[in-house]
Structure 1
Amino acid sequence: LEHLADQGMHVVDAARNVLREYHNTYASGLPLSPLITFLAHHGEDASAIASLLQENGVSAYSVFDAFIHFLDGRCDEVSFGKGDVALVLASTVGNMPGESRGLCAAHLLERIHNLLENDHQTTQLRAGDLERLQRAEVALKCPLSVSPSIRV
C-alpha cells in the first residue's frame, strides 16, 4: 500500500486495488487491520473506510469484526472516536443478513451500554462521543432505522 501511495496513487485507490486483487485469494480473508490502519493514518475516517471495504466485497460481518476492536480499545495504532465507531458498527449491522445481524446487534448494544454506564468514567471519550453512542443505541433498538444511511 505504501509503495502504491509513494508511486502517486491516491490512498483510497491503492486500498481499492489491493482489495480487488487480494480480498478473495486468502483462505481466511484478507487481514483488514493493516488496511484500516493505513487508511486512517492517511486521514480517512471510520465511516469512509467501512464503506470502502463493503463496496469492494468485504462482508458486513468481517467489517464488524474488524471495527469492534476499535470500540473495545484493543488497537493502539489508530484511535477513532468511540461514538463514530459505534455508528459505523450500527450501520454495518444493518447490512447483515439473518441471524448474524441479531447477534452482532446484541453484542454492540452491550458494548454501548458499558461505555454509556461505566466506561465513560475511565475512558477518554471525545467531544460528541456520548451523543453518537446514544444515536447508535437508538438505531440498534429500532430495527427499521438500522441502515447504511446512519449519519456519522
Structure 2
Amino acid sequence: MPRPGDLPMIVAVTAGLGLLIALSGIWLMWRLRTRSIGAMLAVVVVVAVTATLAGVVAIINKMIIEGATKDFVLSVVAVGGLVGLGVAFVLARRVVGESRRLVEAVRVAPFTAPVGCPPSCRRSRTPWRRRTRGSRPWRAPGASSSPG
C-alpha cells in the first residue's frame, strides 16, 4: 500500500508521463496539420487514452501489487482503454461525416449575404443598428441600401 507521503511522487510520475505523451501528441498534430480532421481526431483520442493508461500502469508498477491482483488491475485498465478508444473513434467518425455533409451543403447552396434587417428586427421597436452597436449590415452585391 502506498504511504501518505507517496502522493507527491505519484503526482510527479503521472504528470511527467502525461506531459511526455502530450508533447509527442502535439508534435504529431503539427506533422499532420495538412491532413484530414479524421486523422487529427484519431491522434487526440490516442494521446488522451494513452496518457491515462500510462499514468495508471506506472502507478500500479510503483505500488507493491504482485501476482494475480496486479494482472487483474492491468487487464481492467487495458479493457477500459480499448472501450474508450472504440467510443472515441465512433464519435470521431460521426464528426468527420457531419463535417463532410456540411461542406457538401455549402458547395450545393452557396452563401448569400442577408439584405436589410432580419425579420426579428421588424417586430421590435429597437432599431437594428442600435441593437448591433452601430455595425452596418452586410449587403449582397447590387442590393438596395434601404432596409427591407
TM-score, with structure 1 as normaliser: 0.27
TM-score, with structure 2 as normaliser: 0.28
Larger radius of gyration: 2
- Greater fraction of residues in helix: 2
